[in-house]
Amino acid sequence: MRPNSFFWQLSVSYITLAILLVFANYSLHLNLIPFLVITGFSFLVLSFYFSRRIKNTFLQLEEVTNKIADGKFNSKLRVENPEELSSFVQSINKMSAQLKSKIENITNQKNELDAVLSCMNDGVIAVDTDIRIMSVNRAAVELLDIGENNIRGKLINEVARNSQLQNMIRNVFEKEEAFQEEVSLRKNSNKTLEVSGTALKNEANKVIGALFVLHDITE
């Protein structure tokens, strides 16, 4: 145990307190009332000092973890003492830095993907297992003549009312196979699209959604 560590200091304090209590017990026989008062006061001071330090440490911990939960990953936990908490503090700060790095990487990858999709002439739509739109590029919005910009999170059946497309989406989820079909649009145009669809699976080979690529083959 290091001499400047919290628990070393606490141990010394309790040893000191024990010595004071021994003398206090001896003082009963000597009728030294003032010494008893000093002993009791010393105990109260030590208790207040250490309880306040522990309380401040955990209040700071609560504040930092709340900031991290709000996305403020630059928040750092700083505790001068005790040394026994230093490894815990380092773990919290390391976790915050790693989380910040991972979120930045995910954000950068998403921005890169959005940039690629926005430059494509073919339409791309990704839906989840509830057939809600997770991702869509500008080309898909224009090809399907959706007329809305903010369609993420909406059911694809609500924004693209086409029975052929809906049947194809259903087949992709039911059979978990890749499909390619021609879809005729009759809403506000006479476009014909070649639609390719495939199921999206995670590392456990579980279907988490589907991806569709729309290619305009109108003659």
All structural domains of the chain, each given as residue ranges with its CATH number in brackets, are: 6-106 (no CATH), 120-216 (3.30.450.20)
Residue type, 94: K
Structure token digits, residue 8: 């070393």
Residue of 166, 161, 154, 158 whose CA lies nearest to 195: 166
pLDDT at position 161 is 81
Rounded to whole angstroms, the Cα distance separating 138 from 147 reads 11
Q: What's residue 132's pLDDT?
A: 92
The C-alpha torsion from 91 through 95 and 97 to 98, rounded to 10°, is 130
Predicted confidence at residue 7, as pLDDT, reads: 46
Query: Which structure tokens are listed for 130?
Result: 């509830």
Question: What is the block-wise mean pLDDT of the chain (219 residues), using blocks of 10 residues?
Answer: 47 51 52 51 57 65 71 66 62 76 78 72 90 88 77 86 86 85 75 89 89 87
